[in-house]
Amino acid sequence: MLNQQEKYEDSYLYKIRHSAAHVMAQAVMEMFPDGKVTIGPPVENGFYYDFDLPRNLTPEDLQAIEKRMRQIVQGKHEFKKTVISADEAKKIFANQPYKLELIEGLEKGGFDEYGNPLKEKPEISIYQQDTFVDLCRGPHVENTKEIKQDAFKLMSIAGAYWRGDENNKMLQRVYGTAWENKKQLEEYLHQLEEAKKRDHRKIGKDLEIFIFDDEVGPGLPLWLPNGGIMIEELEKLAKEMEEAAGYSRVRTPNLTKEDLFIRSGHLPYYAESMYPPMELEGVKYYVKPMNCPMHHKIF
């Protein structure tokens, strides 16, 4: 686990997860020798790796991959780093087009192996454990034995565009989680189960508070009678608390001219997360994301 002063990127847990991603990639490539690998970084609570495979993965595949991963970590394979030239890297990954694209970026000095912009041209390095070689800067654990067999789990399969660009090919992303020991893994999985019980979508359906409809739009709830009562009670409580604290309630329009948000300084910062403007008689209007500019007009 992390201590309060430690950055995640510098932690032992980060190394475990990064190494687990490589072990997973080895297992997948053994299952699909003609598959193409891309990138596999650690993330907040685990790791993932994106693959271009000849068929879609199934839940049964995840079980098989996880089983093979346990066999690999039992092999006690060292993670060996080697700094190489761009030409050497291209030979190693000659049949891996995504890796070749990343190598070109590293060679030019514009992007790292994850496609992130770089200020300086980096060295090109590979890591190898057992039979698997990957383009990588690290860091990793020293040996696969440090990835405990009972402290990792593959979680799900999702779609992901190469480099996050919808114009690129859709890849298969396999998510996993890894921890320092079995207890930490069990605690994390328990937290996930508890969170599912409190998921607003589940609660909304079970208690008949709201529903969603595709024709209305994602994230736009249709409030049922129980939900209507809940909203009224919450608004009543808010009014009582505000009145007790000496607040005066006002109402302002839900639409506001663009000029006000420019003058308040909000638009340059929030434009990308606001709804697109609507235009009426040559004037742009925005759905207000906050009340403060209009309230300043009153107070």
Instruction: Confirm whether pTM is higher than 0.85.
Output: no
In DSSP notation, 214-271 reads TTT-TT--EE-HHHHHHHHHHHHHHHHHHHHTT-------SEEEHHHHHHHT-HHHHG
Task: Count how many Cα atoms sit within 13 Å of the Cα of residue 181 in the half-sphere of its side chain.
Answer: 2
pLDDT along the chain (299 residues), means of 10: 74 97 98 97 96 97 98 97 96 97 85 70 92 96 97 97 92 98 97 92 92 92 96 96 93 93 88 89 92 90
Tell me the C-alpha distance between 79 and 143, whole Å: 6
pLDDT value at position 164?
86
Tell me the C-alpha distance between 93 and 37, whole Å: 10
Indicate the DSSP class of residue 111. B
- Domains of the chain plus CATH, in order, are 8-187 (3.30.980.10), 199-249 (no CATH), 255-298 (no CATH)
pLDDT value at position 4?
58
pLDDT value at position 88?
97
Tell me the C-alpha distance between 70 and 64, whole Å: 10
Tell me the C-alpha distance between 36 and 98, whole Å: 7
pLDDT value at position 5?
57
Question: Is-contact 146 25, C-beta < 8 A?
Answer: no
pLDDT value at position 215?
95
Residue 51: Cβ within 10 Å count: 22
pLDDT value at position 114?
66
